Structure formats: C-alpha cells, structure tokens
Structure 1
C-alpha cells in the first residue's frame, strides 16, 4: 500500500470515528442531528447539543479530515481556481442579505418560491437571482427544491433578521436593529472586508496605506472614516455586527475560562471598549456581587445604557454599573479595577498601538489587578513549539495538536481564524496573534502573561496577565 493510499485510509478512519462519536452523543440525548435542509432554530435542543464540547471536537475532526481528503484527491488546478473564485460566494452572500432574500423565503415556507416570485419580491432580475442562489445552493447555502424554486436551509437561515420582509424594505437604515447581528456581520465582512481584501497585493507595494485605504480612496483609518456623516449606515451596521460576534458563541462560553466567581464582593470589572456591554452584563447576571464600568465612545455608551436597562435593570437600580465615555488611547481613569476586560479589542490594532492601550491600563492597575484579554489565539500550521522556551512556563500555552495525518492545527476546521486575521489587517492593520505574539505584547506593555484558558467549545481564549 503506497503512502497516499494509506493517508486516505487514515483520513477515512478519522471520519468514521467522528461520525460514531456524534451519533452516540445524539442517540444518548434522544435527539436527531440538525437537518441541513431545515431552517436553523437556536432554541432547538439539538442545536444546543451541537455546541457541546464533545460534539464540537468530533465535528472538528470530521471537517478537517473531509477537507484534507478533498484536497488530496481533487484536481489541484481546479482546486486552485475554485479558491481564486471564492470571492463570488461572499459577494453573493452580501447581495442576498442586502435584498432580504432569506426573509422572503422564510415567509414562503418550506416549499420555497420560484425565482420569478423572488425577483418580483426583491426587485431583482429573476434570471440573475436564480444564478446567485444556485451558486450558493451548490455550496449548501439555500436549497433548490425543484428547478428554479429555492428555499432556506440551516445555513442560509442564519442570515434571517427576524422581521417581516416588507418592514425591512420600507426602512433599510434600521433593518438590522433587534436582529441577532449575524446578517450585519456577514455584510461587513463580505462588503467592506471583501472590497478591501482585493487590494492586498497593491497595498504591499504602497507603504503606509492599508487595503481599506485603497479600496475606499481615503487616507483615514477605518474608524475615523466611519465618523463621517455619510457613513452612518456603515456605523449602525457595524455596531450590530459586533453584537453578532457574541451570537457566534454560547452565552456560557464566557464562564469556561477565567473564574469570574472567584472575584471578591464588589470587585470592579472595567469593560474596556465594551460596546453595549453585553459580555460584562452576562458575567454579572451570574455573579451580581460584581461591579461593572463599561467604557466606550459616546454613541455605544448610549446604546449600552438602553441595553442594560432592558436586560438587567436591577444592576442599575443597585448602582452596580457605571457608563463611562472613554478613549482607551488616553490614560485610564479607573484606578481600583480588579479586572480590565478587553474582548475583541487587541486584534483591531497593530502592535505599537496595542501596546499603548495596555500600557494605559498598566499605569492604572493595582498590584492585584488582572488583565483578561478575550481573543482568538492563532495556532501554528506545523507541529513543534515556538523557539522561546519561556512560553513553556505559561499555564495553558501549549497548543493541542490534531492526530496524524491531519494538519496539526485541524486545517479547514479552523480556517476562519486565519481569514479573520487577514480581514483585520485589510480593514484596520490589526492582527490575530499567536500565543507568542500575546506574550511579547504583554511584556512590552508591562504585563506578565500567566495563563491562557483555551476554552472548550469555542475558538476564543481567555489570556490572563498580571502587573509585571
């Protein structure tokens, strides 16, 4: 038996074991595996089971092995061209979300709707909408019920904004309000991220300008560009999109790493750049003995006041939460923090600016203050350990490694980490960091990296530091 045949058989065995594991988990719970052909229902117990760490681990092996097997056996030239054309998928996702196709199909029901009726409902040429939907259905997004008739499936329905289609068409500016944020997130990634990413090569030849600058013909950083009056739609969509990042995680994922319950009574959590404060709100709902200071710019802070009043008014009534307008590039005003919490903040910034943010926190920290950074930690695509032996002394820093012959990082099953990384670069000059990258960042800012909680069932890690 030659090596490649042996590799295929090994991959097939991984697939079989992963399927067995998933089937056992669903059989034990007396639940069916969620159907690809049915709309996604976050309240379905079967969907909750899909987030169980055991099922996630099996799914991860399954996805990695299937993708590696496909890459091994398929024509490499066709594989290369398919990857080069993959931008068409994101552009079609943006189009169907922008024109509320998912909501129109939701109203049509499981039997679907003809492209003629879809086109009439959304104001798009039926022939073109058919081509868009067929491309997506070929990638298991939507399903073609019969020739020229399409319906939602488990994947497409995640774009549902939860409103009647006529309401969405009547007021495009507010169509994301009250949604899960997934559609807004997809549109930001597909439109702004996609348009910017097309300028990656050109930006490498243009020092000082990011792909975003070239795509939008501006020298302003993205966040400054979004402050323009004409960018208000982008601002509102972006705000909801950031809430959508939380919808990607189970609510209890925040409790699978750092031990918030161990903090003493009335300890202060400073939610730095916290937006609506939905993460710190989740924490103190479980541990109401903790105080929160939510910090951000004025517009997100006003949104935060409303969010807390609607979702946890008791904490406001007890004066256990404070809303503070603050720019984290300025000195930190809170001097009694037990924890500085930064979720999805560091990846927005290159190292020099990220160090400045952390230095401001370090200068305000007490000796017992802890820094909790919640981010993705980028795994290496090769086996082995970083050259810096100091990393070996940090609890949780050792990366899990997939079984052979899978790529050590699980390949396609974690590909979104690397996609996010280059999207952050294209838009902001930001970076998703390796564990070594966080170690160096903390050290430059006066913090000591002491532990990395690689939280089960989620890609986000809790990276913990203390004053050096």
Structure 2
C-alpha cells in the first residue's frame, strides 16, 4: 500500500482542527467570528476562541496550513512573498497615523470612498486606495466596491477607541490611553523596519558595539537606547514604545495570572498546582518580595529609576490606596547594575527585564541579586522561552516543567509558523540590544550569575513562563 503523502497528512490535520473548532462552537450554540465583520473583544464568540481546546486546534491548523503552503508552492514564490512584509508594515503604520480605522468605524458597515477617507488628513486619495487595496488583499480591511473600504475583524483591532476628530485635533495624544495594537504596528513600521534594514551591517561589524536599532537611529555606542529615548526630543518615540510594549489591558491580565491569591506584602497560602505558576505558598508569612524593574503594581519593595517610581506611586494610589495607607509597599530608587540594597528578600522578581539585555549584562544583573540573596531566596524571572525548532535534548527535558508539547508529524516539533511570534520577538530584541532565550541560555546565565535554575512553570493560556532559581 502506498504511503500517505505529506500533503494529505497536512490536509488531514487541518480538517481535524476545523472539526474540533466547529464542534466547540456548536456545543456553545455559537458561530466562529467572521473575517468581514469588525472585531468586538466583548463578543462571546471571541471569548470562546480562547477556549483551550480551540487554542490547541488553532495552533495545529496554523502550523499545518503554513507548512502545506510552502510545501506545494515553488521556492522562488515563497521567497518573494516574504518581501510583502515590509510594505505591509509600512502601510499599516501609515493608515494608523492617518486614523483610517477610526474614520471607517464612524462610517459604519457601508464603508467610505477613499476620497472621503483622505479628506481629514489631506493626503492623496489615489495612494491611500492603493495601500488599502494591498492590505485588503492580505485580509486587512474589506473592499466593498472599487475604492470603497470598510473595517473588518483584523483592521478594527487597530482602533484607538477615540473619535477621529479628537485624534486629528490632538495628534500628540493619539496613542495615549489606547491598547497596544496601534502603537505596536506604528513602531514596527518605523523603528523596527529601519533597524532590520541594518541587521546585515551589524552582524558583519566585528566591533559589536552597535545594535541594529542604535545604528538605524544614530544613537552613539556609549549611550543606552533607553537613556536616548528619555531625551526630550525623543519622548514621542519613548511614549509609543512604552504603550506598544506595556499595553494596559495586557498588563492587567498578566497581574491576575502572576499574583492571583497572593496578598500584597504578606504571602498568603494559596492553592498552586505544578504548572500553574510559581508557588507563592512556599514562602513564609510576611516574606519580602523585591520587584526589580518595577513593572507590576504588586510589590513589597518596588525598585526602579526615580521617574518610573513616581508613576508607580500614582498607580498605587489610584488602584490600591489601602496598601499605601497601611504602609505595605515601599518605593526604592535603584539601578539594578549596582549592589542590591535589600539583603533579606524571599523573592527577587524580574518581569520582562532580562530580555532587554545581552548575556553579559544579564549575568551582571542577576549576579548583583545573588550577592544579596539568602540561602532560601528564590529568583523568579517572568519571560518568554524560545523553543528549539528540533526536539529538545534530554538534559533540558530533565528540568522540572521544561518539557512542552511537540507537534504531530509531519509538522515541525515546535509547530512551525504557529510559533513564529517568539522568534520574531527574539530578532526584535536583538535590534534593541537584548535577547529572548532558550532554556539552555537561561541555564547558562543563571549558572554564571551564581544561581541554579530549578524549575519552569508554564502558565496555561499565556506565553510567559515563571523561571525559578535558587542560590548555587
């Protein structure tokens, strides 16, 4: 009997995934979201799309569909299609800065002609139509009639949630108070495109002094990108970067996953099964948590630079006034490259800090914490983990919590294109001078900084992991 072809195996995986997804929606008497309809995050069908069964099926479907496409397509066409990404990003940035999504939201489902879309910004309606048609061909926006466009599920996710008139009248405040998507696409279409254009030159530079983004933006090798962004003339870039990296809705979702069941300042016993996150109930009552980098509004000792601490104080006062009144939180100005002043911490928590820095700098940061640690202190990093495309070696699988699901054949073990975001994020962090890490990378920097990596907690429904270490 002839063996089943790879094409048929991939098609079968797609069919099975569709059956699974339709089955979950049918059981809930609901329909999957429609591409040509605006995105409504409050729609029950959107929430149902986060069901673990659907999420798993979607991952397989995306991986199989992408692999089926590149398997059947000729290699040159595949390579040429990659070039679509640059102009697509540039178009997304342009339409976001022209507030096209908000104009079309106000126009409603009947859409609007490009002459009217272009009117508030006084741009050329012909080039606007050409950009929107390119985007619509890639399923972003919907062309109802020639030169008449409306939002669809993807384009409407870029909605800044403000009236278009307000956006045009106060352009400097366009992104303030918005979710991440618009700021992210504008940043990708600006700094990220420019920095990726410098990737080859950076890799070939034997000095290794400049990151691609510093090279693209003209930042000197002696100045950090973060300090450069804090210059008054660069504040618009810094504000956009901050919104893109730390959208309010995403941050609030992360808080619940990290600190659910934990009282501020005093660690309370909580039920926390393996694989559900760092077990805060292991810590003593009254234990001290040091949030290094001051990312989350949940800390005992909240450390960062002065300006960030001032914002943190406002956030605490507005959202957790009782903790301020009870003196359950301390704000402490600190540079994490300097000796750590807190010597009795039970936990040093760093959320999305180490990915900003090279291995050398990360070892320096973690080494300062190790110098101040007690024998019982835990180090908890909340970061993404880059999986190998191939199956992980036995030494990595032996770390508790390290093993992750592998894809069924003939998919790549890491689910291929369905996992592409973490690899893109790693390249983006290289542009910034940082690094997303594999488990092996984390083991190496922990070891050189004086820590043993003892466990990884994978959080269901979230990309971030809790990577736990103890003093070596």
| TM-score above 0.5 | yes
> Map of 1:279-290 to 2, 5 A cutoff?
280=298
Aligned equivalent of 2:441: 437
Deviation string 1:369-414 (CA, Å, 9 cap, x unpaired) is 211111111111123x33xx54343101123210100111111111
Aligned equivalent of 1:288: none
Aligned equivalent of 2:301: 293
Offset of 1:250 from its aligned partner?
4.5
CA separation of 1:248/1:83 partners in 2, compared to 1, >3 Å: closer, same or farther? Answer: farther
Aligned equivalent of 2:117: 118
Work out whether residues 396 and 453 of structure 1, in 8 Å CA contact, stay in contact via their aligned partners in 2: yes
| Whole-angstrom distance in 2 between the partners of 1:354 and 1:246 | 28
Alignment counterpart, residue 406 of structure 1, candidates 404, 407, 411:
411
Offset of 1:249 from its aligned partner?
8.8
Aligned equivalent of 1:201: 200
> Map of 1:335-414 to 2, 5 A cutoff?
335-383=343-391, 385-386=392-393, 390-414=395-419
| Whole-angstrom distance in 2 between the partners of 1:424 and 1:245 | 21
Offset of 1:218 from its aligned partner?
2.5
Structure 1 stretch displaced more, 394-403 or 217-226: 217-226
* 1:170 correspondence with 2:169: yes
CA separation of 1:269/1:97 partners in 2, compared to 1, >3 Å: closer, same or farther? Answer: farther
Deviation string 1:194-230 (CA, Å, 9 cap, x unpaired) is 1101110111222322211221123233112212221
Work out whether residues 382 and 466 of structure 2, in 8 Å CA contact, stay in contact via their aligned partners in 1: yes
| Whole-angstrom distance in 2 between the partners of 1:50 and 1:261 | 32
CA separation of 1:326/1:61 partners in 2, compared to 1, >3 Å: closer, same or farther? Answer: same
> Map of 1:446-461 to 2, 5 A cutoff?
446-461=450-465
RMSD between aligned alpha carbons?
2.1
| Whole-angstrom distance in 1 between the partners of 2:426 and 2:45 | 31
Work out whether residues 51 and 250 of structure 1, in 8 Å CA contact, stay in contact via their aligned partners in 2: no
Runs of 5+ in structure 2 lacking a partner?
261-275
Aligned equivalent of 1:274: 294
Work out whether residues 182 and 247 of structure 1, in 8 Å CA contact, stay in contact via their aligned partners in 2: no
Work out whether residues 184 and 244 of structure 1, in 8 Å CA contact, stay in contact via their aligned partners in 2: no
| Whole-angstrom distance in 2 between the partners of 1:111 and 1:293 | 54
Work out whether residues 179 and 248 of structure 2, in 8 Å CA contact, stay in contact via their aligned partners in 1: no
Secondary structure of the corresponding residue to residue 177 of structure 1: coil
| Whole-angstrom distance in 2 between the partners of 1:245 and 1:7 | 43
Secondary structure of the corresponding residue to residue 270 of structure 1: strand
Aligned equivalent of 1:23: 22
* 1:131 correspondence with 2:91: no
* 1:258 correspondence with 2:278: yes
CA separation of 1:424/1:150 partners in 2, compared to 1, >3 Å: closer, same or farther? Answer: same
Aligned equivalent of 1:230: 233
| Whole-angstrom distance in 1 between the partners of 2:42 and 2:282 | 31
CA separation of 1:110/1:209 partners in 2, compared to 1, >3 Å: closer, same or farther? Answer: same
Work out whether residues 249 and 458 of structure 1, in 8 Å CA contact, stay in contact via their aligned partners in 2: no
| Whole-angstrom distance in 2 between the partners of 1:182 and 1:298 | 28
Work out whether residues 114 and 126 of structure 2, in 8 Å CA contact, stay in contact via their aligned partners in 1: yes
Offset of 1:231 from its aligned partner?
0.5
Aligned residues, how many? Answer: 451
Structure 1 stretch displaced more, 200-209 or 252-261: 252-261
Secondary structure of the corresponding residue to residue 247 of structure 2: helix
Offset of 1:418 from its aligned partner?
0.7
Q: TM-score, normalised by structure 1?
A: 0.91
Offset of 1:259 from its aligned partner?
2.8
Q: TM-score, normalised by structure 2?
A: 0.90
Work out whether residues 101 and 122 of structure 1, in 8 Å CA contact, stay in contact via their aligned partners in 2: no
| Whole-angstrom distance in 1 between the partners of 2:252 and 2:155 | 18
* 1:214 correspondence with 2:215: yes
CA separation of 1:231/1:446 partners in 2, compared to 1, >3 Å: closer, same or farther? Answer: same
